[in-house]
Structure 1
């Protein structure tokens, strides 16, 4: 990304829950009364980083909090509550050892999906925040976040058959990260939720800080 990279400092901002690094969206496509972006939210020193797609898909255009409002967002939040990462009010929860963000943080009008150029324009912001958080476990939700995380933060993207039902709730070697892809909740079938809960319970019970980046089998 060269000169287009974004530099972030974690000093004096880690006590902020929403947008702890003070990111400013590079564009605003919304009406004056609408939310410009849904920024990263949670513990800036977290070991677990859940990565969604964009606000219109996984929620937050009203609350400003990722994984709220939509059915898919609520399904992810329910799993995280069961595992005690999430407490308190659903629309403004308290997070423990967890950070939530989107690969495309900007809101768009009338339910529009981001274009390829808009995703590309926000890539450097997402990358800078991800590296500032420096979580041990990355949990991308859905096809685009999973594709991006596997491509940019592992050496495995071209070696794997990109099939979300197969990748779901399995570990993939990362360049300094453990990656556990999550199938989009809108596509979950019998057993998908339980598989995700079981995988996260297993990671929490392990010494995952010592196994950061270690590969395990897929499938």
Structure 2
């Protein structure tokens, strides 16, 4: 079922106290990238996830290479088949506390349900811990370590989860591995991932 909205930024009308980098992109996307927060991955000023930081520039360059972004970098990227969200969208002075992450998880939950993508890309360890806990039964079997599992495919409950190492830590090989994984998924019948049994990919 397609979402009937042309809105790119905050298409579902979320309201986060104090300002936020709201979910952004194609509301009918099959590929959903989950980052950490504006404090870690940028967007406190622009209101757009994965902007204003080196992490954002590196991730956007990959999105451009695989055909998801019209530009290599923009503060208002033109995205297709891709949606960007944060585990904690709210703007804070420093990194959010554990309690603040827990409080704002509901915004991510709502966006995940609304977008209903096929593939979740968990950028950073906190996003991976969330994806493993909420969308697989593997948190007790797989450590939420994106450096160790970068660009692997982990099959979960209704989603395929792809861990993504912190972009600021990428080597050339890390970047190439992520591009290769996305390209392979685009070349496959990735829509069959919905509802698959939980296995380690």
TM-score tier, shorter chain, comes to over 0.9
Matching residue of 1:7: none
Alpha-carbon separation, structure 2, partners of 1:48 and 1:78:
16
Matching residue of 1:18: 9
Alpha-carbon separation, structure 1, partners of 2:199 and 2:97:
34
Q: Any conservation in 2 of the 1:156–1:172 contact (CA below 8 Å)?
A: no
Matching residue of 2:105: 123
What is the CA-CA distance between 1:216 and the residue it aligns to? 6.4
Matching residue of 1:87: 70
Alpha-carbon separation, structure 1, partners of 2:57 and 2:146:
20
How well do the aligned residues superpose, as a CA RMSD in angstroms?
1.7
Alpha-carbon separation, structure 2, partners of 1:173 and 1:108:
33
Q: 1:136-192: CA deviations, max 9, x gaps?
A: 000010010111111111111111134322211011111100110100012223411
Higher gyration radius (CA):
1
Q: Any conservation in 2 of the 1:156–1:173 contact (CA below 8 Å)?
A: no
The correspondence for 1:97, drawn from 66, 81, 85, is: 81
Secondary structure at 1:91 match in 2? coil
What is the CA-CA distance between 1:102 and the residue it aligns to? 0.4
Q: Any conservation in 2 of the 1:77–1:86 contact (CA below 8 Å)?
A: yes
Gaps of 5+ in 1: 1-9, 29-35
| 1:176 lines up with 2:176 in the alignment | no
Secondary structure at 1:210 match in 2? helix
TM-score by length of 1: 0.85
176-185 or 54-63, larger mean C-alpha shift: 54-63
Alpha-carbon separation, structure 1, partners of 2:191 and 2:139:
23
The correspondence for 1:145, drawn from 127, 137, 152, is: 127
Secondary structure at 1:85 match in 2? coil
